[in-house]
Every structure is written in C-alpha cells, then in structure tokens.
Amino acid sequence: QVQLVESGGRLVQAGDSLTVSCAASGRTFSSGTMAWFRQAPGKERDFVAAIRGLGLTNYRDSVKDRFTISRDNAKTTLYLQMNSLKPEDTAVYYCAADTRVLFRYSVSSSYDYWGQGTQVTVSS
C-alpha cells in the first residue's frame, strides 16, 4: 500500500523560512515524478513544484526564486524548502507522486498518489 505523509506545516511570519516534507512508502518513485501542490481556502489546487526523473525541477513562477524542491538519496522523502514566505503562500500543501516521468507534471490529475496535506499559514 502506497502512502505519502506530509509534515512540517505550521504558522510562520512573513519573511520566514520553512521546510515541509513528504515521506513515501510502499513504492519507489526514484525514476518518476514527485511534486508539491497547494490549495488555499475557496481556491483550486495549484501546482507549486515538481522533480522528475534524474532530478529535473520545475516551479510555478511565483515561487521560482524562493522555493526549492528536493528529495533524499534514497528518493523516499520529498522536501520543499520555502524562503521569504508571503501571506499569499498560505495554503494546505499536498505531496503528489507518480512512477512515470510526467510531461503534464503541473496538472493534478496526472498523479496517481496523494498525501493528506499539511497546513502552512503565513501571517503578515
């Protein structure tokens, strides 16, 4: 049984840094795609960042210079390092994974596996 478990979300102040994690079990995604999405109240779930295959990364424009996606050598844990956080970054952050190298990595329906989410709240 595949499980993705996010952790690390909490209340922070604008300008702070925070790292959220996603621990994967039950399947390896070492050659596939892992990603972060986020969903603010009343809004759709949006793509944040993805890491594919041997380590190709992609980001949404609004986080490109502030967030860094990475995974550990065993490729069982996904991280999202978030710097210079803004109130508009407030959302539930979800981990997504697929065993394939996805072309449509920014589309949520492309992914087979999802975590339950972790809340990140940025106060002004």
Strand duo 45-52 + 11-13: pairing:
unpaired
Give how far Cα 90 sits from Cα of 2, 6, 31, 117, Å.
Answer: 27, 16, 30, 13
Q: Which pLDDT value is given to residue 39?
A: 98
Q: Which pLDDT value is given to residue 88?
A: 96
Tell me what the mean pLDDT of segment 11-37 comes to. Answer: 95
Q: What is the mean pLDDT of the chain?
A: 95
Please name which of 47, 36, 49 lies closest in space to residue 9, comparing C-alpha atoms.
36
Strand duo 118-123 + 11-13: pairing:
parallel
pLDDT above 90 for 31: no
pLDDT tens, 72-117?
867 689 999 999 999 999 999 999 999 999 999 999 999 999 999 9
